[in-house]
Amino acid sequence: AMADSSVPTFSWEAYPSAKEYFIEVRNLSGDVMWGGFSPEGAADHGFIGAATRSVTYNFDDHPDAEDLEPGQVYQWKVWADLGTKQDSFVEQLISSSEDLRGIFRIPESPSP
């Protein structure tokens, strides 16, 4: 799918019983561009609550997020979560989006 801009908006359907969502954007090499999880397993982006149904790329201004390049293809994924298990600090992921549905291309820059 063609993205809506160089800073795309990602939208999803609500998942029953989800308390929060996690999102990740990767390049075709599988490198995480933004979001996902830290090596310790914590969300590597700002909080996305259960009432949220869409976010823009790097909505939290994460300093390590790379700009998405015009004409390049990327993939995004969203996970629904029950929240951390009490006193364990472990996320309880209950669903994720399909990989092939999340493939998108950034529009080419307009010619000068």
Rounded CA gap, 86 and 80, in Å? 17
Residue 104's φ and ψ, nearest 5 degrees, are -145, 155
* Digit-coded pLDDT (tens) for 80-108: 887 766 555 556 676 777 666 789 999 98
Averaged pLDDT, 49-72: 95
pLDDT tens, 1-39? 889 899 999 999 998 888 899 999 999 999 999 999 888
Q: What pTM was estimated for this model as a whole?
A: 0.84
Question: For position 111, what pLDDT does the model report?
Answer: 45
18 near 49, Cβ under 8 Å?
A: no
